[in-house]
Structure 1
Amino acid sequence: MKLKEIFTIFMDYSGKGIYPFLFLVALIYLLATEKDSKIRRVLLESSLVITVLFFFPLFKMVMDKVEEAGTYYRILWLLPMTVVIAYAGVKLIGRHTRIGLAAMVIVLVLGGEYLYKSQYVTPAENRYHLPQAVIAICDLIAPQEDEERVWAVFPSELIHFVRQYSSEIQMPYGRDMVVASWEHVEHPMYALMESDIVRIDLLAELADDYQCQYIILNKAKNTEGDPESSGLKKIAEVGGYDIFRNVDVPILKKTDTSH
């Protein structure tokens, strides 16, 4: 039963790609042909041990006791798949030029796919490979050198990216709210931000309670109430988002110890 579960995890990890399978072929080829003992120890034998452990049911049983649920596939991250495949390809082409080039063409044809055909992949907008709107918002609300880190409430579609760009902006809830498989208590601000109609007065009240200086709202979101009367001052519009400054919560100076 465990072995079947392991193979299912491996197939899910592989998806529609052939690279994990190509790695296994390359590993077998190098184990049979590589003579350099250093390369064998560092690149091949270590990969073999990790691969065997991954497919070993007893190891899976032990890992189930100590790991987070659903993260067993991360063991495959330890495998230097790209290096092993590339080294095997170079070695094959060096020894058998025609066969190697033909194999390379076959691999490219079978394994290649137009990247941007996927709904989850878009052309990079900047060198950070993050939505430009997130960068612009973070730059706008980031604290000055003499200020403490600020707190900001972001809609769920942006919270993954904020921490990747800046550690100067804190959030009352994070990625734990949007991963369905993680057990968590829903944060009241997240529940309000994700509701069909966002009550501005309640949002401002919670922002005061959690000492959040900024609120970012998707302009497409239905809202109820007047931000100005609730102490929320609109300071900018960035990429389809309204940025509000919660004037009731001050931004502390680094020398200020009153908070």
Structure 2
Amino acid sequence: MINLIISQLKMSMDWLLQFNDEGLHFIVMFFALIYILLRKEEACHRRLFIGYSLIFTVVYFCPLTSWLITRTIGELVYWRMLWMMPLPVIIAYAMVKLWHRIKKKWIRAAFIGTFTGVMIVLGQFIYVENSPYETRANWEKIPTSPIAICDIVNANRGSEEEWAMLAAPEDMVPYIRVHDASIRQVYGRKGNYWMANKGGKYIESALQSEVTDYQTLCKKCRAIRCNYIVLPDGAGRVEGMAAYHFDVIGRVGSYIVFKDMDWSP
């Protein structure tokens, strides 16, 4: 029991530290809460912000509640609990109250400029090296690889009306759907791979496998009229697919795009 309590407390603290990283906005929020606590007027707002913050802190760090929550949503996403702390609202409320207490306009302007500068300095720029975030490269805000795959498929279609069904690895599927809904894919409406009796499940697993039975993969794709396949690059991929008349029509990063050269409308 003691080990479980310590483990849950450590997990909660680790996620808090990772969520905050090098930013110091939680410290600003702490001082904002102290200011709200010391204010005499507007007791209802004081109770709201202080009370909510205390309840959230207890729930977040309590080993029992954190254990129940992680069993429900998973430990890897427990950090999303921190989204429930209204950090921007608390800081903004305290700063607005401070601003209202200043009478002279030039001091108000200086206060706003100083506060903005402090928030920038204490924050962290997310578009840094090795960051999971990247600047928007297109209006749809999706990775460039699925867009390139769609472009390759469309460039090899005889016309826009020509049938195109694509079997792609699961991490590509939603982005391809967003970018070009005219390219059909071998998955169902709810995301599950359909036509299971015709090899849908086999295709799903084969697209992720390093060792592939090319004959079976090509046969099952043809059974559902799938004429484009995206596979991770690997030794023997090109030769294995070419043996069954699936030729390379393009490469995108570590993926190869194949087309069934025997396919006809």
**Aligned to 2:22, what secondary structure does the other structure show?**
coil
**Partners in 2 of 1:250 and 1:30 — Cα distance?**
72
Q: Which of 11, 25, 28 matches 2:17?
A: 11
Match of 1:113 in 2: 125
Measure how far apart 1:126 and its partner are: 0.8
**Partners in 2 of 1:42 and 1:107 — Cα distance?**
24
Match of 1:158 in 2: 172
Query: For structure 1, which runs of at least 5 residues remain unmatched after alignment?
Result: 177-186, 252-259
Cα deviation, 1:86-140, whole Å, max 9, x if unaligned, reads 4434444444545665454334223243723344333321122222342353477
Match of 2:221 in 1: 207
**Aligned to 1:72, what secondary structure does the other structure show?**
helix
Q: Structure 1 residues 116 and 62, CA, compared in 2 at 3 Å: closer, same or farther?
A: closer
Maintained 8 Å contact 1:153/1:215: yes
Measure how far apart 1:202 and its partner are: 4.5
Q: Structure 1 residues 208 and 67, CA, compared in 2 at 3 Å: closer, same or farther?
A: same
Matched residues, number:
237
Write out aligned runs for 1:108-257 (5 A): 108-113=120-125, 115-138=127-150, 152-155=166-169, 158-159=172-173, 161-162=175-176, 165=179, 170=185, 189=203, 192-195=206-209, 200-208=214-222, 212-217=226-231, 221-222=234-235, 223-225=237-239, 227=241, 229-232=243-246, 236-237=249-250, 239-240=252-253, 242-246=256-260
Query: For structure 2, which runs of at least 5 residues remain unmatched after alignment?
Result: 1-5, 103-107, 193-200
- Identical aligned residues as a percent: 24
Measure how far apart 1:146 and its partner are: 9.9
Measure how far apart 1:75 and its partner are: 1.7
Q: Structure 1 residues 191 and 137, CA, compared in 2 at 3 Å: closer, same or farther?
A: same
Maintained 8 Å contact 2:167/2:226: yes
Match of 1:52 in 2: 58
RMSD (Å), alpha carbons = 4.7
* 1:110 partner letter: L
**Aligned to 1:230, what secondary structure does the other structure show?**
coil
**Partners in 2 of 1:76 and 1:31 — Cα distance?**
22
Q: Structure 1 residues 229 and 48, CA, compared in 2 at 3 Å: closer, same or farther?
A: same
**Partners in 2 of 1:224 and 1:202 — Cα distance?**
16
Maintained 8 Å contact 1:200/1:224: no
Superposition TM-score, scaled by structure 2 size:
0.61
More helix by percentage: 2
Superposition TM-score, scaled by structure 1 size:
0.62
